[in-house]
Amino acid sequence: MSLSFRSYALLTCLLSELCMAKTLPIDPRGETLYQQAVPYLVEANSKLEAVTAETPTTGAQEKERSLNLAGEAGLLLKHAMPLLEQAAALDHPVAQYRLGLIYVMLSPSEVIKEKACPLFEQSLAQGFAPPALEISSWCIAFTETPEYQAALQAMETSIPLYEQYFPQPVVRLECRKEEPVGFAMQWGSGRDFQAEIYRIQGNINRARRLEYYQKAIDVNDCYRAKKRMEIFK
């Protein structure tokens, strides 16, 4: 699925000084729909965080409890999906991301590539940083495009515009040493995602690799950037 002209136009704007405005061009109807979905997302997240990681010593009762929690979370996410779908159709970048994330959580890899990747690409084109991480895991072909490179460069300008929407969940924040537990997502602030963007840029741009890794470390002491700097120095 190709990105809309509106998304390209907004990305161009984000790369210019004209995008320093304090408001985002988000459709009010899309915002209302997104906010209606948020309670379902919050409750689903609380249940997923209560799911414990299964180990060889996990008892049958605990396994059943976790399975029930995961099922309840799945139902809540399914309630949120129609609202997110409507908001995403109105180009709401955060709704596009959260809908794509649900596909990542509930779908096989071929469905993720078909349904989640276009949503992540549309959201990223509007300057929303979190989908850049999921794209780097699931939508590899897009990471080689000029649009992806331009979007990463725009993040220093665009991340502050989305401050009201942070923190946001993501499958994995590479800059953190600790890993996710069970079905829980990791939540990041705008600064956390800016560090991740620098880390990704360092992975991609060999000529400026150490510069970008150092920026990631300066932002939030990025663990992964530190480890990679030890290799490439």
Q: Where are the domains of the chain?
A: 5-11+22-232
Reported as half-sphere exposure (CB side, CA atoms, 13 A), residue 142 has a value of 28
Rounded-to-integer distance, Cα 183 and Cα 70, Å: 8
Task: Inform me whether the pLDDT recorded for 3 exceeds 60.
Answer: no
Q: Of 230, 154, 232, which Cα lies nearest the Cα of 197? A: 154
Rounded average pLDDT over 140-154: 95
Greater confidence (53 vs 10) lies with: 53
Residue 14 has a pLDDT of 47
**172 in Cβ contact with 180 (< 8 Å):** yes
Provide the pLDDT for residue 11.
Answer: 52
Residue 100 near residue 120 (C-beta atoms within 8 A): yes
CA-to-CA separations, 63 to 2, 57, 108, 176, in angstroms, rounded: 43, 10, 23, 28
Q: For residue 46, give the H/E element and its range.
A: helix 28-49
Could you tell me where the DSSP H helices lie in 59-208? 60-89, 93-106, 109-111, 117-125, 131-138, 146-158, 190-204
Q: 22: pLDDT confidence band, cut at 50, 70 and 90?
A: low
Q: Is the pLDDT of residue 117 over 80?
A: yes
25-38: average pLDDT: 97
- Higher confidence at residue 182 or residue 32? 32
For 89-99, what is the mean pLDDT? 98
Instruction: Respond yes or no on whether the N-terminal peptide bond of residue 167 is cis (omega within 30° of 0).
Output: yes
Confidence at 182, pLDDT banded by 50, 70, 90: confident
Q: Which tops the pLDDT comparison, 219 or 107?
A: 219
- Rounded mean pLDDT, 82-104: 97
Instruction: State mean pLDDT over 114-143.
Output: 96
pLDDT at 233: 64
Helix (H) / strand (E) containing 188? strand 186-188
Which of 17-21, 122-126, 165-169, 187-191 is predicted least confidently? 17-21
Q: Are 135 and 67 in contact (CB under 8 A)?
A: no
Q: Is 148 exposed, middle or buried (0-12, 13-18, 19+ CB in 10 A)?
A: buried
Helix (H, G, I), strand (E, B) or coil at 170: strand
Instruction: Return the pLDDT at 58.
Output: 81
In this predicted structure, the answer to whether residue 12 has a pLDDT above a threshold of 80 is: no
